[in-house]
Amino acid sequence: MVSIHQRIVEDIETRIMGGIWLPGHRIPFEHELVEEYQCSRMTVNKALSALAQRGMITRRRKVGSFVASRQIDRTVMDIQDISTEAELAGHHHSHKILRRKVETLDAATAAQLGETTGADILRLHCLHTVDGKPNALERRIIMLAMVPSARTESFASVPPGKWLLDMVPWSKARHVIRAVSADAATARLLETERGKACLTLIRQTWQMSRTVTHVEIIHPGDRFQFAGDFHPTERGVPNQRSKRGSF
Amino acid sequence: MVSIHQRIVEDIETRIMGGIWLPGHRIPFEHELVEEYQCSRMTVNKALSALAQRGMITRRRKVGSFVASRQIDRTVMDIQDISTEAELAGHHHSHKILRRKVETLDAATAAQLGETTGADILRLHCLHTVDGKPNALERRIIMLAMVPSARTESFASVPPGKWLLDMVPWSKARHVIRAVSADAATARLLETERGKACLTLIRQTWQMSRTVTHVEIIHPGDRFQFAGDFHPTERGVPNQRSKRGSF
DNA sequence: GATCCGCTTTTGTCTATACAAATAGATACG
DNA sequence: CGTATCTATTTGTATAGACAAAAGCGGATC
CA neighbor of B88 nearest in space, from B155, B138, B162, B157: B162
Is the separation of the CB atoms in B44 and B34 below 8 Å? yes
Cβ-count burial of B176 within 10 angstroms (0-12 exposed, 13-18 middle, 19+ buried)?
middle
- Return the pLDDT at A67: 93
pLDDT band (50, 70, 90) for residue A197: very high
- Rounded distance in angstroms from the CA atom of residue A49 to the C1' atom of nucleotide D10: 14
> Is A242 a member of any domain?
no
Number of independent structural domains in chain B: 2
User: How, if at all, do strands A64-67 and A74-78 pair?
Assistant: unpaired
> Is B41 a member of any domain?
yes
- Return the pLDDT at B231: 63
Question: Is B199–A178 a contact, with Cβ atoms under 8 angstroms apart?
Answer: yes
Give the range of the structural domain holding residue B152, as residue numbers without chain letter: 82-234
What mean pLDDT do residues A98-103 have? 96
Each residue's pLDDT tens digit, A120-151:
999 999 999 988 889 899 999 999 999 999 99
> Is B239 a member of any domain?
no
Question: For residues B214 and A243, which has the higher predicted lDDT (pLDDT)?
Answer: B214
Residues 6+ apart with CB under 8 A from B161: B81, B82, B83, B138, B140, B215
Domain of residue A16, CATH code? 1.10.10.10
Q: Is the model's pLDDT at A247 over the cut of 80? A: no
Residue nearest to nucleotide C21 (CA to C1'): A61
- Return the pLDDT at A171: 75
What mean pLDDT do residues A193-205 have? 89
Nucleotide at minimal C1' distance from the A61 CA: D11
Which chain A residue's Cα is nearest to B18? Answer: A169
- Return the pLDDT at B75: 62
Question: Is A173–B53 a contact, with Cβ atoms under 8 angstroms apart?
Answer: no
- Return the pLDDT at A87: 73
CA neighbor of B97 nearest in space, from B62, B118, B125: B125
Whether residue B105 is found in the same domain as residue B192 = yes
Question: Is B74–A78 a contact, with Cβ atoms under 8 angstroms apart?
Answer: yes
- Specify the 3-state DSSP secondary structure of A13: helix
> Is B28 a member of any domain?
yes
- Return the pLDDT at B238: 37
Question: Is B176–A227 a contact, with Cβ atoms under 8 angstroms apart?
Answer: yes
Whether residue B140 is found in the same domain as residue B46 = no
Backbone torsions φ then ψ of B142, nearest 5 degrees: -115, 130
> Is A77 a member of any domain?
no
Q: How far apart are CA B215 and CA B81, in angstroms?
A: 11
Q: Which long-range CB contacts under 8 A does B61-69 form with residues at least 24 apart?
A: B64/B26, B64/B27, B64/B29, B65/B26, B65/B27, B65/B29, B66/B23, B66/B24, B66/B25, B66/B26, B66/B27, B67/B16, B67/B21, B67/B22, B67/B23, B67/B24, B67/B25, B67/B27, B68/B23, B69/B23, B69/B24
Question: What single DSSP character describes residue B27?
Answer: E
Whether residue A198 is found in the same domain as residue A166 = yes
pLDDT band (50, 70, 90) for residue A75: low
Which residue among B17, B38, B67 closes a domain? B67
Average pLDDT, chain A: 85
Is the separation of the CB atoms in B174 and A228 below 8 Å? yes
Q: How far apart are CA B70 and CA A76, in angstroms?
A: 16
pLDDT tens for the 247 residues of chain B, in order? 789 999 999 999 989 877 789 889 999 999 999 999 999 999 999 999 999 988 889 999 999 999 987 665 556 666 667 777 677 677 888 999 999 999 999 999 999 999 999 999 999 999 999 888 898 999 999 999 999 999 999 999 999 988 887 778 777 788 888 898 999 999 999 999 888 899 898 889 888 788 999 999 999 877 777 777 766 555 444 333 333 333 3
> Is A245 a member of any domain?
no
Please list every residue in chain A whose beta carbon sits closer than 8 Å to the beta carbon of residue B68: none
> Is B240 a member of any domain?
no
Which residue among B67, B100, B117 closes a domain? B67
| Predicted ipTM > 0.95 | no
- Return the pLDDT at A230: 67
Q: For chain A, give the percent of residues with pLDDT over 90.
A: 54
Whether residue A62 is found in the same domain as residue A89 = no
Which chain A residue's Cα is nearest to B49? Answer: A50
> Is A73 a member of any domain?
no
